[in-house]
Each structure stands twice: as structure tokens, then as C-alpha cells.
Structure 1
Amino acid sequence: MTHERIIYITKHGIKLGVSPEIGGMMLYLSKNNSENIVRSNPILYDSAVAVSPEILRDIVPFIGHATWLGPQSDWWQQQSVHEERKQQVATWPPDPTITEGAYTIRNKTNNSISLLSAESPIWGVQLQKDYVINPDGSIFISVTLIANKKTVAWDIWFNTRVHGFHDTYVYATPENIRTEHVISPQSTEMPSQYTHGFFHYTACEPPHTHPERNSKTFIYPQTPNIYMFSEKNALHITFEKHQKSELHPEQALAELYIHTEKNAEKSFLELEYHSPYKTIHPGETMSAWQVWNVHDYSGQKNSNEHIQFINSHLL
């Protein structure tokens, strides 16, 4: 897959695509010409338009790997551009400048790219995003938050969207797992399992009584890892393990959000990480990172084989 709005970097069989025009998001990832490992909607790429913080609109579901700031309840509380949203304590959408605005390319090589957002009056920051494919094929992703004109308080929120029927595992004790299902006339719960110390959703279509299933799980994992299995690949995401006291109380170190519909192409699963919550003054920065490893996988689609693969190859 290639697209004019995406810039690709490659190394050791890994091909990674980032769009400077669409929030600096990673919208493509493959190993040895595999299918795209991250969830994306290429049909929407050409609908990307210039973003203005003064114009209110919803985000476009490009999907991909995005960076938000947390907590979500503060998305419109540290700004004065839209007073109505501030009074409403709006929790949607995220800042359009940071999430979907154009980024400037700071530097690019065959296996790395660095991008910088415009300064946003909504979240009060700029973001620098760096993607590097290492010689061994691992991927290093870092984000630096830059406070320019005012004091702000945020965490850095990595949000990786994959297909809704892929399988994801997080190793954690039961007391450090909290699931909140979305129950409404539109939505019902998503089944999950706890197998050999791993939490995982058992993704399925909604029943005939509801058009959707939606669920969110907040996890403080034993080890700072998220494992995801597609049909032919295993994605291993690792990050720093922070103390609970460093995290905003509304967020968790690792979070999973799942949405399924009868139409599988509209389903998605979010693999999320939160950095420590900090107050940042003008001229200061804070950073967060992840390391990704993509592995070939030829086993069956079931939890026992997935967990055996994790224990044998990824630990």
C-alpha cells in the first residue's frame, strides 16, 4: 500500500507510514509485505482538510496510531477559545490541531522521521513526534510535549487502533483490572476472559438486540507490555512502568477500548498507554516513548496458543 499523503520509512522488513498532513499519525505498519497491522481508513485520507482551532467539528475516523493528552475530562478545560465547551466540560472531540492538523517534517532518513505540530491554543502545547526503525527491526516511538505560552497539566496518551476482532493480552493481577461496559439502547457489553494471568477481550458481534458492543478496561499491568495478535503477526508494545501515584486518577497505565458492530470493517480495538501526569510551565517539556516489535505468527487464533507464543517468544 502507498498513498501520496503518507511518508514511508523502512528497515529490516518493516515498513511504517506516517502522514504529516493528518496529525503526524502512523497510518500504516507491515512486516515483510504483510497486511496493514494498524487499523486505518485509506478512503478517508483525501478528505483531510486544513484544521483551525476556531472551527468546531468532529474528528475524521482516519484511525491509526495517534497521540492524545490526558485526562479526557480536561480536553476543553485549559483553553479560552470555546467557552461553551469549557462550561459543558466537553470530553469530545480531542484537540483538532494536535490530532488531525498538519505537522512539519523536522528531519527524515530512510528509517526515521521527526515531525512537529503547530502550537495549539486548545491544549496549549506543541507535540514533537519521532519514529525510528532500529537495525533489528524494532520501532522506537517518542513524543515530546512542549509548553510554550502558558502552564498546563497533562499526561501523554498513546492510542494505537487495530482491527476490532484482533486479540490483545495484558498480564495483570485481577485487583488491578477494572472493566466498564457501555450499556445503552445502542450498546451492550463485550465478553472478556482472564487466562493464565492475562486479561483479554473475546471480541464478538453484538446480539440482534443491539447494534454495537463497547467496553473499556483500565489496567495496571504486572509488566509494561501489551501483546496483540493479527492473523499472521504478533505485535509486542512495551513502555515504562510508572507508579500508580504518578498517573492521573481517571487514567490507567494501560487501557483497552473495544468497539464491534455487525460490519467488521467498522470495528476497532484501542491499545492505550498513559505517561505520568505533570504540570508543565512555559519553556518546559516532557516526553514518553514506546518500543514496538512485530513478529511473524503462524499459530491458531485462540488464547492458549497466543499465550504460549507470548511465553515462548516475547518474554
Structure 2
Amino acid sequence: MPRPPLSLLTLGLACLCAATSAFARLPAHRLDNGVIEARVADVAGGRLLSFALKGKPNFLLVDETAGDPALAPDAMSNHVRYQGHEVWIGPQHEWWVHQEVNPARAAAKASWPPDPWLSLAKYSVVEKTPGEIVLDSPASPVSGIQLRKRYALVPGRPDSLQLDAEATNRSASPAGRDIWFNTRVPAHTRAYVPVASHDDVRLEPGAALRYTLERGMLSLDLPVPGDAARKGKLFAQPSRGWLAAFGDGQALVIQFAHQPRAAIHPAQGQVELYQDADADAPGKGMLELEVHAPYVELAPGQTMRASERWTILPYDGPATRGAHLAFLRRHAAQLGIAGIP
């Protein structure tokens, strides 16, 4: 058989390489203690790509093929749906107000997309050991913020992961900002937040959501086949510093420093749940588990800090509110949480 011309071979190899890279997983660092495992990328915004009990499915919703991590962010970058867990800087309605690199977004007071330098850039590795990794973002000309993220296994708690974030104002002007943890999970995930009353809950305008709030515990209702799709955001002032989520044979509890309502920017909630769920399209959509730290006026060079502690446990019970709350009650002392009816 005659050999194809060299140019065709070259083209074929180039196409093969392009196809391989387009569908490859993002390069990532692994944290693994034999009980839990996590993958952290320094590309694509230093995000957490996976977290699960060893041998269990990834609890997070992630699409590692969503974009090209080699592309450097710029002022025209749009959102790339890598998903997973990332850190934003709030409040959202001011995302593009205090910058000059994209005047059109400033004039429009754009609330989307997130800061590309924090969400899409490659972070530098500051420190890496078998038990932790520390990453620094570039200083953003959009928010004026440089982020440092630390992901670490927790000594004495093999089922837990510590997430620490530091935000430093690298601009020459004071900046009012907050640290905003955003965790994406599949749409079928069921979430619970301790909330004292309906006065501590609000829905964004137009939100098509349903929730249950009984005996101090809020849960989002999932649609069943034939129901209208659910989409929108719920803002909550929690009564305790934790939330829980159940899915794929695992229970995830996220703990954080509980804040008074006055500490959180009024446009946000300390806990926010964004749901996009359609029972007739079960493979699509998502749930976002979002936590805001206090809104702080940062002087130039000043740093603010916030943390989450994630604990994941096996769960083999039914997917019902009653069974989930009973599970949380049984493990409350072990988890160090309270407020479960």
C-alpha cells in the first residue's frame, strides 16, 4: 500500500493530538489519605475538581473539557463551565464596576461573567506536600484581588478536607469585597441548611423554586417527572455554620464560620443555593452550594481570610428528607454540628 504524503501524515497527527487534548482531563494535583481523595488543578482558576470517599463517584459536578486551560484570561474572557469548586469575590453586582480594562462591562454594571483572572488563570504553586497544596492567583485588574487557596487533609480527621482562602487587595484603592465559596454538584443532590424562619429566606426575582422549611431546617425540593423545571437562587441567613448535601451514596457536610446577617453584604446571603433541575432531563442542570464570608473594606495591601471544612461520609439510606435528617442526627456529635430537628 502506498504511503500517504508527509503533509497528510502531519495533518492526521495534528488532528489526533488536538482531539486528545480537547478531551483530556485537566492536569491536577492529588490529595489522597486512603479514605478520601481530591484533585486540585492549578490551571482553570486553581479549582477543586473532585472530592469523594475512596472508590466512590466524584461528589462534585465537573467538566474538565469545557475550555482550553492554556488560554490566558483577558478583559474579554467569558465564563467557562469547568464547574467543580471555585472561589469568587463578591458582591456580584459590583463585579465589573471597579475596573477600566473592559469599559463596556463597567458601563453596563455587568454581573456576569466572574473575574477571569481568578476563575480561569493558571495559579502558581506556592507549596506542595503529600497533605496539602497552596496556590496563588495572579493579581486581577478586574477586582484588584489576588487569591491564595489552600487545600489540605485534616490531621486526625481522615474523612475531611480543609479549604482556606485569602484575598489580598493588590490595587491602589480601598476595596469593599467578600470571599465567596461556590461548590457545584449534580442537580439530583439534596441539600439542607439550618434556618430559623421564613424571614431568613428570600428568592431572587423570577426564581422557579420550591423549598421546605420545617422545625428549623430548610431543604430544596426536587422536581418529579411531569413537574416544571426548577431554576433560580435562594438566599438564606443560616442559624448555624453548616450545610449538608446527599448524593451518589455519600453525605457531604460543609462547615464554616457562622456570621450575623449584618456581616454579609445585603445583596447576598451567607448561604445561597442555586438550583437548575429538570426531572425530564436528569443528566443536565446543577446545584450550587454557596457560602459568603463577611463583607470587608480592604485597604491597599490588606488581606481577608475565610475557610470551609468538608467532611464526607458513606450514606446508603433512602433519598428522603426524614432519612437524611435522621442520618445527620446520628452523626451530629462526630461532625460537631447542631440544630438538627
Tell me the TM-score normalised to structure 1 length: 0.92
Q: CA deviation at 1:59?
A: 1.0
- The structure whose Rg is larger is 2
Find the counterpart in structure 2 of residue 152 from structure 1. Answer: 175
- Confirm or deny: 8 A CA contact 2:26 2:43 kept in the other structure: no
Matched residue of 2:331: which SS? helix
- Confirm or deny: 8 A CA contact 1:182 1:214 kept in the other structure: no
- Confirm or deny: 8 A CA contact 2:59 2:248 kept in the other structure: no
Q: CA deviation at 1:11?
A: 1.6
Find the counterpart in structure 1 of residue 219 from structure 2. Answer: 200
- After the TM superposition, which residues 26-41 of structure 1 pair with which residues of structure 2 at under 5 Å, given as runs? 26-41=48-63
Q: CA deviation at 1:48?
A: 2.5
Confirm whether residue 255 of structure 1 aligns to residue 278 of structure 2.
no
- Confirm or deny: 8 A CA contact 1:53 1:120 kept in the other structure: no
Confirm whether residue 292 of structure 1 aligns to residue 310 of structure 2.
yes
Distance 2:44 2:211 in 1: 33
Q: CA deviation at 1:27?
A: 0.8
Find the counterpart in structure 2 of residue 237 from structure 1. Answer: 254
Write the deviation string for residues 110-168 of structure 1: whole angstroms up to 9, x where unpaired: 12100000111001011000000113121110100011232211000001111111100
Matched residue of 1:23: which SS? helix
Distance 1:179 1:242 in 2: 17
Distance 2:202 2:232 in 1: 7
Q: CA deviation at 1:79?
A: 0.7
Write the deviation string for residues 255-300 of structure 1: whole angstroms up to 9, x where unpaired: 1110123432321001111111111112210110011100111111
Find the counterpart in structure 1 of residue 245 from structure 2. Answer: 228
Letter in 1 for 2:324: H
- Confirm or deny: 8 A CA contact 2:180 2:293 kept in the other structure: yes
Letter in 1 for 2:264: L
Distance 2:94 2:326 in 1: 40
Matched residue of 2:326: which SS? helix
Q: CA deviation at 1:58?
A: 1.9
Find the counterpart in structure 1 of residue 127 from structure 2. Answer: 107
Matched residue of 1:22: which SS? helix
Judged with a 3 Å threshold, the aligned counterparts in structure 2 of structure 1 residues 217 and 4 are, in CA distance, closer, same or farther, namely: closer
Judged with a 3 Å threshold, the aligned counterparts in structure 2 of structure 1 residues 85 and 207 are, in CA distance, closer, same or farther, namely: farther
When the two chains are superposed, the root-mean-square deviation of aligned CA atoms in Å is 1.9
Letter in 2 for 1:110: P
Letter in 1 for 2:217: F
Match for residue 142 of structure 1 among 164, 170, 181? 164
Distance 1:311 1:223 in 2: 15
Q: CA deviation at 1:205?
A: 5.8
Matched residue of 1:73: which SS? helix
- Confirm or deny: 8 A CA contact 1:177 1:217 kept in the other structure: no
Find the counterpart in structure 1 of residue 19 from structure 2. Answer: none
Structure 1 unaligned spans of 5+: none
- Structure 1 segments, 4+ long, off by >4 Å, are 205-208
Structure 2 unaligned spans of 5+: 1-23
Letter in 2 for 1:147: N
State how many pairs are aligned.
Answer: 306
Find the counterpart in structure 1 of residue 298 from structure 2. Answer: 280
Confirm whether residue 131 of structure 1 aligns to residue 162 of structure 2.
no
Percent sequence identity is 28
Distance 1:4 1:73 in 2: 30
Judged with a 3 Å threshold, the aligned counterparts in structure 2 of structure 1 residues 207 and 124 are, in CA distance, closer, same or farther, namely: farther
- Confirm or deny: 8 A CA contact 2:79 2:116 kept in the other structure: yes
Tell me the TM-score normalised to structure 2 length: 0.85
